[in-house]
A and B are shown apart, each in its own frame.
Chain A
């Protein structure tokens, strides 16, 4: 049970264009991994394949050493929760109702939620600091609060793996940090494996233990954050001039973009 995910020779195509090309990597249990890469690098597609929202062209994805295909939908939802980029819920469910839906995969068709489920939902809401919102409509609360509620729903699923697709993309910097701090705490305290797509390299540098860097559908680098986020790797992926330095306040790597790289310009050390 040491490998949360094991992916071998994974490829995916849309019509003609190859989106992912023979990707291989594995993710250990209790990791905090960020998938980064420029637009069109295939990072969202990769996450969708891991979430089984898309089916691969070829290759095998294993969760806990078992191919994803062999899990039933309900069984998979007990092992892996997914937090989408943004949740547009047009219906007036209360926050509590939404989080209670996270218990769906644990309840049999003719069963009702019991005290244990209510207790788990309560803890999930308290964990993300949203217990006080439980009776509000999901549409009345702010974007940051809503994202925390959706994370509570993932927690109520009681999975060992949580996938997140740019969970902070529509939030301001305060709420971005709030969400990422929460994920970090969850990872450290409960050992839940966090696998997340992020756009912001500096946030990825600050929070993740490991980074997967994609470029044009290929795996460019994978490993410890400090090993992957090098000028060489990032210039290849993003084609910009940049400086990477250690931030004296946070102690984390910090990338400062300078200019779009011209094809003739030589790389400067």
Chain B
């Protein structure tokens, strides 16, 4: 099939791009390290072939900068970008709404609310590699999503408009409580605001370990529903008459997406825009078929977030900018450019 080959070609070129960006990002920063050194250090970390890589002539500080600081951070950015984009695709497809993103069901405000409580209560401790703030953010996100879901459910159905409205209302509610916390505890304002803008600063292998499995398994599950999502783009009634159990698929994807988003947000804070624009950009490139759209969005989302984070940590070094600012600054105009250029409805 022509289609199969084209799909494979696109995915392979994205994977190649990932490796190029990985190496580029690993050598960018205050300490200058040449590309071959970096490739050797990264290769030594790979399973199976890792042991046979010759690391002679590489200093301990180089090993540490690449292996313990930059590499985990880059991979974490990739995983977070991957997860947010896949969830964005699923949400936009399931809700048939171009404005949908991973945070549309209240996840971000719930997470911010949880994190704010932990910050105000001075719970910035770390147990077993997991910060208490992250834990609070995770449960805050799940709490908000389950409130949205139970509000939106009418009998056994979850109508799209009710879901969107419940998402907005619940989001506003949690944001209001967070603002109240900031007013009461004004000395914590900057840490709360910083957290809500998302960052990979000081993140390492621990956070990566936490996020990688939920994101990969979740993406795989969503991928299995590709065909259902495709048919659902024809409208829920038509999908049902074509044999799709629409309400079951919706419930399933909502739960998976909420869990994935909560995990991602708990390790990185709220990184906006990726889950909204990456699916649109990839849809313009490869079309609406979810069997291509899901893997391609994941890959491009990951690559985009690596680049954004590299910029965030180098642009006014040694000060780091929250990566959420970069994604919005870079993503917004680029997205508008694509929109104008294509001049077609999303």
Alpha-carbon distance A107/B244, docked complex (angstroms): 11
Within 8 Å CB of B237, what residues of A? 53, 84
Q: Is B36 an interface residue (CB 8 A)?
A: no
Contact A73:B243 (CB < 8 A) given known A89-B233, A104-B231: yes
A79 to chain B, nearest CB (A): 10
Contact of B243 with A104 in the complex, beta carbons under 8 Å: yes
What is the chain A residue whose CB lies nearest that of B228?
A104
A92 touches B238 (CB 8 A): no
CB contact list, B221-240 vs A, under 8 A: 224, 227, 230-231, 233-235, 237-238, 240
Q: Is B345 in the interface zone, CB < 8 Å from A? A: yes
Q: Tell me, yes or no, whether B54 is within 8 Å of chain A by CB.
A: no
The residue of chain B having its C-beta at the shortest distance from the C-beta of A80 within the complex is B241
* A-B residue pair count with CB separations less than 8 angstroms: 63
Q: Considering the complex, give the chain B residue whose CB is closest to the CB of A106.
A: B243
Question: With A84-B237, A104-B227, A104-B231 as given contacts, are A92 and B287 in contact (CB-CB < 8 Å)?
Answer: yes
B-contact bits for A64-97, CB 8 A (1 contact / 0 none): 0000000011101110111010011111110001
Taking a contact as CB atoms closer than 8 A, the residue among A78, A89, A93 that contacts B243 in the complex is A78
State the main secondary structure of chain B at its contact with A.
loop
Cα of A77 to Cα of B242 in the assembled complex, Å? 5
Partner of B234, one of A52, A101, A109, A110: A101
Chain B residues within an 8 Å CB radius of A51:
241
> Using a CB-CB cutoff of 8 Å, which residues 324-345 of chain B contact chain A?
345
Number of interface residues of A (CB under 8 A): 31
Which residues of A9-64 have CB atoms within 8 Å of chain B's CB atoms? Answer: 51-53
Interface check B245, CB cutoff 8 A: yes
**Which chain A residue lies CB-closest to B225?**
A109
A263 to B93, CA, bound (A): 53
Question: Is B288 part of the binding interface, using a Cβ–Cβ cutoff of 8 Å?
Answer: yes
Flag if A84 contacts B238 (CB, 8 Å).
yes
How many B residues have CB within 8 A of the partner chain? 20
- In the complex, A105 Cα to B245 Cα: how many Å? 11
* A91 touching B241 in the complex, CB below 8 Å, given contacts A97-B289, A104-B227, A109-B224: no
The complex places the Cα of A194 from the Cα of B240 at a distance, in Å, of 19
Bound: A246/B233 CA distance, A: 46
Chain B residues near A88 (CB, 8 Å)?
A: 235
How many Å lie between the Cα of A97 and that of B288 in the bound state? 10
Chain A interface main SS type: loop
Asked if A125 is at the interface of the complex by the 8 Å CB criterion, the answer is: no
CB distance from B123 to the nearest CB of A (A): 43
Chain A positions within 8 Å of B241 at CB level: 51-53, 77, 80-82
Q: Knowing A87-B234, A101-B230, A101-B231 are in contact, say whether A93-B242 is a contact too (CB < 8 A).
A: no
Q: Evaluate whether A73 and B240 lie within 8 angstroms (CB atoms) in the complex, with A92-B287, A93-B289, A97-B289 already known.
A: yes
In chain A, what residue has the closest Cβ to B241? Answer: A82
Residues of chain B within 8 A of A110, CB atoms compared: 224
* Closest chain B CB from A89 CB (angstroms): 6
- Decide yes or no whether A151 CB sits under 8 A from chain B: no
Closest B residue to A90 by CB, please name it. B345
Contact of A52 among B238, B240, B287, B289 (CB under 8 A): B240
Q: Which residues of A contact B227 (CB under 8 A)?
A: 104, 107
Residues of A within 8 A of B231 (CB): 101, 104
- Give the residues in chain A near B230, CB-CB below 8 Å: 93, 97, 101
Contacting B at CB under 8 A, from A127-176, are 153, 157
Q: What is the chain A residue whose CB lies nearest that of B237?
A: A53
Q: Bound complex: CA of A117 vs CA of B215, how far in Å?
A: 33
Complex contacts, A87 vs chain B, CB 8 Å: 234-235, 238
Which of B92-141 touch A at CB < 8 Å?
96
- Cross-chain contact of A101 among B96, B242, B245, B287 (Cβ < 8 A): B242
For residue A258, give the distance in angstroms from its CB to the closest CB of chain B.
Answer: 38
Binding site for A on B (CB under 8 A): 96, 224, 227, 230-231, 233-235, 237-238, 240-245, 287-289, 345
Contacts A84-B237, A92-B287, A104-B244 supplied; 17 other A-B pairs, CB < 8 Å: A51-B241, A52-B240, A53-B241, A73-B240, A73-B245, A78-B243, A81-B241, A82-B238, A84-B238, A90-B345, A93-B233, A93-B289, A97-B230, A101-B230, A101-B242, A104-B231, A153-B242
**Chain A to chain B contacts (Cβ below 8 Å), 25 pairs:** A52-B241, A73-B245, A74-B243, A74-B245, A82-B238, A82-B241, A84-B238, A87-B235, A87-B238, A88-B235, A91-B233, A91-B288, A93-B289, A98-B234, A101-B230, A101-B231, A101-B242, A102-B242, A104-B231, A104-B242, A104-B244, A105-B242, A105-B243, A153-B242, A157-B242
The 8 A-B residue pairs with the shortest CB-CB distance in the complex, in nearest-first order: A77-B243, A105-B243, A91-B288, A82-B241, A74-B243, A73-B245, A91-B233, A101-B231
